[in-house]
Structure 1
Amino acid sequence: MINKSITVLLVDDEISLLESVRRRLEYRGFRVIAVSSGEEALKVAQTEAVDVAVIDVKMPGMDGKEVMQRLKHDHPEMGVIMVTGHGSFSFKEEEVSGMIDACLAKPCDLATLQEAIQSAARKRADG
């Protein structure tokens, strides 16, 4: 799959990390939309065709779990990768079963993130 055909929505309240990951993914050919809140992510998803959302778990206001659930409710075909810098994920497996393509610890290796994005996008394309 060609990366530039994959649109990634990055959602993270850590602006420096958000911008760094955005630049690095764009350099690898992905189309990236970067936002710093769950509310912004929901707005973007209303107007943009997003293939895969990469969502930070811990954010002020709307947390990553709520963002993921609302995105999946409105866009069930969207791939979702959850990331956390807090060592563990704050949700039960049965709450998110079938909704998440990958869970990664921050900061994650870019090659690992890229493969997770490509894998999630392939699942949707093969659908």
Structure 2
Amino acid sequence: MLESNTEKMLETERPTARSPLSTTAGRGATAPGGAKTPAHSKPARRTTAPRGTKRLGTMAVTGGVSVLLVEDDPDLQWALARSLTIEGHRVVGTSSGDGAIAVISQWPVDLVLVSSRLPGMGGLEVIRQIRDRYSDVPVVLMTSPGDGDLRTGARLAGVTACLQKPFETEALLRLLLALQVGPALLS
């Protein structure tokens, strides 16, 4: 059993005042800009994908994937996990490289998203250890600006793709779709 501080199931909503993903619920609520939502207003109509599919950005794909999210910034981890779960994917998050190795050894994943800078075991070492044990799992490295040398090392370690922070959620969803269609397209 994993310790609760190394594995968090992130399928619940945790809105915060400063989160761009937080929503205003209910009628007569105050919107982020301070404007009041009229009590008589109807909720926005939600469009749905065809039965048996999940929304992925502006495209629909069948099913969702299991994602291991390794990010030490709790706000970013929550925002990414929330975006992915909204799109129908299953997410387990951890804030350390050691936690990532513990999770992936006990929970089968379809994709690993790992931050380049982690406390303890860094992102490159996480990639190497995952590649040694699970060579077929796509690994996406989330880098910071100025990590050019790190991206080169990541390619040598076997990373599937890199995303430079900050990135739009749509970029992550497009990458996820490309990985579902075929990782060979990214080479």
The two structures, once aligned, show a CA RMSD in angstroms of 1.9
The 2-side partners of 1:60 and 1:94 are apart by: 18
Change in Cα spacing, 1:34 to 1:50, as seen in structure 2 (3 Å) is same
- Unaligned 5+ residue runs, structure 2? 1-60
Whether 1:62 and 2:121 are equivalent positions in the alignment is yes
Q: By percentage of residues, which structure has more helix? A: 1
**SS of alignment partner, residue 13 of structure 1:** coil
Conserved 8 A contact 2:68-2:93: yes
Percent identical = 27
**What is the number of residues matched between the two proteins?**
123
The residue that corresponds to 2:166 in the other structure is: 107
Q: 1:11 aligns with which of 63, 70, 75?
A: 70
Q: Higher relative contact order at CA 8 Å, sep ≥6: structure 1 or structure 2?
A: 1
Give the greater-gyration-radius structure (CA).
2
Change in Cα spacing, 1:29 to 1:67, as seen in structure 2 (3 Å) is same
**SS of alignment partner, residue 113 of structure 1:** helix
Amino acid in structure 2 at the alignment position of 1:39: D
Conserved 8 A contact 2:127-2:157: no
The residue that corresponds to 1:30 in the other structure is: 89
Q: 1:79 aligns with which of 123, 134, 138?
A: 138
Question: Which TM-score applies when normalising by structure 1?
Answer: 0.86
The 2-side partners of 1:85 and 1:113 are apart by: 15
**SS of alignment partner, residue 10 of structure 1:** strand
Amino acid in structure 2 at the alignment position of 1:11: V
The 1-side partners of 2:89 and 2:148 are apart by: 26
Change in Cα spacing, 1:66 to 1:110, as seen in structure 2 (3 Å) is same
Q: CA offsets, 1:9-47, max 9 Å, x none?
A: 110111111011101110011111111111111011111
Whether 1:2 and 2:76 are equivalent positions in the alignment is no
The residue that corresponds to 1:40 in the other structure is: 99
